[in-house]
Amino acid sequence: MIGRRPLSILMLAPLPPWPVNNGSKVRMFHLARSLAARHRVTLFSLRCPSDAKASVEQQLPSVDLQGVDGPPQGVGPISILRSVRRREPIHVAGAWSAEAAERLGRIGGGFDVVHVFHLTMTQYLPFVRARLNVYDPMGDESVYMERLSRTAPVLWRPFVIWNLRNVRVYETRAIHAFDCVLSVSAVETPRFQKAARPGAQVATVPIAPDTGELLKLSPSEGAGQMVLFGGSLDWFPNIDAARFLAKDVWPLVRAKVPSAQLCIAGKDPVDDVRKLEEQPGVTVLPNPASMLPLLRDAAIVTAPIRTGSGIKIKTVEAMAAGKAVVATSLGCEGWDVRDGVHLRRADTATAFAGSLIELLSDGQARRRLGVAAQQLVREKYTLERMVTRVEELYEAGLATAGAA
């Protein structure tokens, strides 16, 4: 495809990709921006009021941004009734908009590629036409819901289990409708391959953030004894991770390293996260303007994730910055990392605390991990590699479609 005629690409997104403050937006924003440098890209977004549209257009001037204002986010009576009536996952039902369907019908066909982000947007595929249909779920929803059913608060678990049944059926049917499916992790690829229709491409394409500035940083031991956890602090897996780190792990660390400080930083912390400041040596920093100064200062960056699916962008960003990372198995799932070489892996509170204590007392070990981690990102997880791989899949898919 590179060097051939520009393609006409339609992207369907569940929300505007700016500001880039979560993994889904990382994928949507950087693919749209990079592909628009060589192709004609139309991005259609739900929940895109005029002020959000103006911000996205400023950041993506080469992208033709289309969209609608609704539907509202969250779970409401209408989405619950639609979910029950149509046996759809609750978040899929909540993303339905008759206005969006009508607008997409007017946009019509003539596209080379339609690239659909997230399970919620697959319901709009019948309203558009393209030579190649690409599904980019950015995580295995069935795996996410299954893990959530084991960790959600007890009162919510029956609801989560009910929704899980709908997700399994709906996701399998949705995958079967596409010519090409992108998996963010080799761990998830086999299930997508099983669900895909015969002849469909299923490829592993990790989400890669813009690591350009991070890779310019020299791997460092960090300043002082600050341990960092960052992420969207209104998302359940991160809320659970913050609680685990502050309540179960941190008292064990402080007992051995009284001067250690834990900084929990990120978008829109819920009250349960804000209250973690009551723990000795814990600071909660809401909505920092940039994570870069915190990454520079941190001695260790953590990814104590215990539920969810997909890959954790903050883990690879910390690795790109040359920082020592301590992560649970889920916190580094999907990345091609080796325990003790690129990071430290620990899944219990005792093991996690032990790794933090050891690394806080050994600056050279922290730097060794940071050097190896940064090199791994440079070799495998750059934005350029992600975009090139997506273009290659477009090319292969369109060649197959042309031969059919």
DSSP 9-35: EEEEESS---S--SHHHHHHHHHHHHH
Q: Name the token pair of 275.
A: 């209250």
What's the pLDDT score for residue 404? 44
Regions of the chain with pLDDT less than 50: 1-3, 404
Distance CA 103, CA 88 (A): 22
**Domain spanning 212-380: CATH superfamily:** Glycogen Phosphorylase B; (3.40.50.2000)
Residues in the chain: 404
State whether the Cα torsion 159-165-167-170 is positive or negative.
negative
Strand arrangement, sheet containing 8-13: 64-67, 40-45, 8-13, 111-117, 130-136, 180-183, 201-204
What's the pLDDT score for residue 384? 93
Distance CA 47, CA 16 (A): 7
Distance CA 261, CA 182 (A): 39
- Cis peptide preceding 71, ω within 30 of 0: yes
What's the pLDDT score for residue 73? 82
Nearest to 180 by CA among 136, 139, 141, 143: 136
Distance CA 338, CA 322 (A): 15
Distance CA 352, CA 302 (A): 9
- Cis peptide preceding 258, ω within 30 of 0: no
Q: Name the token pair of 397.
A: 């898919």
Global model pTM greater than 0.75: yes
Task: Decide if 347 contacts 378 (C-beta within 8 A).
Answer: no
CB-count exposure of residue 373 (10 Å: 0-12, 13-18, 19+): buried
What Å distances lie between residue 62 and 57, 68, 76, 163, CA to CA? 8, 19, 36, 39
**Residue 197: count of CB within 10 angstroms of its CB:** 11
SS3 404: coil
Query: Class of the 8-208+382-403 domain?
Result: alpha beta
Task: Decide if 122 contacts 135 (C-beta within 8 A).
Answer: yes
What's the pLDDT score for residue 264? 98
Task: Decide if 192 contacts 212 (C-beta within 8 A).
Answer: no
Q: Name the token pair of 68.
A: 């609608």
Residues of each domain in the chain carrying CATH 3.40.50.2000: 8-208+382-403, 212-380
What Å distances lie between residue 237 and 27, 306, 313, CA to CA? 19, 7, 13
Strand arrangement, sheet containing 344-345: 282-286, 261-266, 226-230, 300-303, 324-327, 344-345
Return the residue matching tokens 């393209």: 130
What's the pLDDT score for residue 2? 47
CA 59-288-267 angle, 5° bins: 80
Distance CA 323, CA 374 (A): 8
Instruction: Name residues whose C-beta falls within 8 Å of residue 148's C-beta, 6 or more positions apart in sequence.
Output: 160, 164, 236, 307, 308
Nearest to 350 by CA among 358, 338, 339: 358
